[in-house]
Amino acid sequence: MADVTLMKTPAETALAQAFESAKTSLPGQAESRAQAFEQFTQRGLPHRRVEEFKYTDLRAMMREIAPFAGVPAADEARAALAGAKALASVKALQVPFVNGHFVREAVDFHNLPENVEIVPLAEALAENHDWLARLSPVPWANDNPVYQLNTSFMADGVMIRIAGPVEMPVHLRFVTSAASAVATATRILVVVEEGASVTLLETHESTDGANHQPNDVIEMIAGDRTNVQHVRINAEGDKALALSTLAARIGGDALFNSINVVAGSATSRHQVFAVLDGENTNLRVNGATMLKGVQHADSTLVVEHAAPHCESRELFKTVIDNEATGVFQGKIIVPHHAQKTDGRMMSAALLLEEGGSMNNKPELEIFADDVQCAHGATCGQLDEDLLFYLMARGLPKKEAERLLVQAFLGEALEFVENEAAREALIETVEGWLKART
């Protein structure tokens, strides 16, 4: 039988050339990068025949590869951060990145809040820091091609250790200010020690009109009896192709809440890989996505209940206007030893016009017999009776629609504990709706 040679796309060829040029200059051990890129090249960019990317064909979407961004000048970094708006009203410890590079001078390392320690990733990679052994807390995420690309090209980031309760939120602010298209690959590791608590804010912003290609990975290790509140906003520019991954390993008796709000980018895929590694842990993962025009947003979730007596709740709300496309793929895995598992997953989509579409694929993979697990998916239009009720009381149709959409998305936002962050998320929703009307 003749050997079959897979044809590389121009984007895959460009990635190979970029890796060959950059591999010797990137910090850290070249061996691990080379291994990750070799795993990626064996399959290439994922396409519709790859089940996990059935609805988000990156081989078709990534026709060209943007050059990886260099370190910005000091004045450019200051101007970019000064213009950043997402969650700007929330008082927090700022950990900023501009064009994928950590802005070290914007952080006062000598006066960090109590129980917070920060190590720049570039330095850690160059010095082979002990904390690097805690990267990749979810081993099976290594098989994901988006994750493999980040591992291959990651140039900067930070490692954060939370050693106890932290009252002030920690804000990871990512801003891409380059006028022309650039690619970025940041890696963040957050280690929340036993009994500690933290609110982690994560915002992503970039300039309109440029085909930026960020690929960001946040990895979190939450120990026993921890409380982690994670709020993420995608406010990328209107031409961006944004890839992102959250990989979390969570200990016992812990509370872990995460929400991803999508209000920007032309194409986005946010992946969540979570492992409940200790008993009596409560996990909540929510999403609120607002799409218009021809935007495409993919939310993909895999939760493994690796210990018994755990509870997980996943609620994803998607509002689709014009000819936009939404995607939700969710899977709950319950191995045979994870008895008394309680897992429930729901995706609900609201189509504001006939041209939009929503793809839902919820899954349960259960090997235990004493569990309560369920999933559901709905897709529909605004309730005509409720719309008529509001209009009958004098509200214009657009205003009535705005109130109904706001209530629909509000259910996904209400669990956010930090009041200032919750109000900022509501303002994000209101801003999107105001622009629509």
Per residue in 353-377, pLDDT (tens digit) is 999 999 999 999 999 999 999 999 9
SS3 435: helix
- Whether the CB-CB separation of 278 and 250 falls below 8 Å is answered with yes
Model confidence at 149: pLDDT above 90: yes
What is the rounded CA–CA span in Å between residue 146 and residue 148?
A: 5
Confidence band of 52 (pLDDT split at 50, 70, 90): very high
Bridge partners (DSSP) of residue 314 are 285, 345
Mean pLDDT of 386-397: 92
The pLDDT confidence band at residue 6, using thresholds 50, 70 and 90, is low
Q: Average pLDDT for residues 380-406, to the nearest whole number?
A: 92
Pairing of strands 227-235, 267-276: unpaired
Q: How confident is the model at residue 299 (pLDDT cuts 50, 70, 90)?
A: very high
Percent of the chain with pLDDT over 90: 93
Residue partners of 321: CB distance under 8 A and separation at least 6: 291, 292, 293, 352, 353, 356, 436
pLDDT class of 142 with cuts at 50, 70, 90: very high
Please check the confidence at residue 386 and state whether its pLDDT lies above 60: yes
Contact 215, 149 (CB under 8 A): yes
Average pLDDT over residues 167-175: 98
Task: Tell me what the mean pLDDT of segment 323-340 comes to.
Answer: 98
Tokens of 329: 């793929």
Does residue 32 register a pLDDT over 70? yes
Structure tokens belonging to residue 41:
């090249």
Q: What is the CA radius of gyration of the chain?
A: 21
Question: What's the Cα-to-Cα distance from 13 to each of 9, 67, 107, 138, rounded to whole Å?
Answer: 6, 13, 38, 29
Instruction: Reply yes or no on whether the pLDDT at 437 is more than 80.
Output: no
* pLDDT value of position 5: 53
pLDDT (average), residues 32-43: 94
Question: Residues 335-346: what's their mean pLDDT?
Answer: 97
Residue 340 pLDDT exceeds 90: yes
pLDDT band (50, 70, 90) for residue 7: confident
pLDDT at residue 226 is higher than 70 = yes
Specify the 3-state DSSP secondary structure of 209: coil
User: In the predicted model, what is the mean pLDDT of residues 386-411?
Assistant: 93
Query: Which residue reads 């101007």 in tokens?
Result: 79
pLDDT band at residue 28 using 50, 70 and 90 as cut-offs = confident
Give the SS3 label for residue 258: strand
Distances (CA, A) of 223 to 199, 246, 251, 308, 361: 15, 17, 5, 16, 31
* Percent residues over pLDDT 70 in the chain: 98
For residue 133, which of 230, 29, 34, 258 has the smallest C-alpha distance? Answer: 29
Residue 184 has pLDDT above 90, yes or no: yes
Mean pLDDT for the chain? 95
Residue 400 identity (one-letter amino acid): A
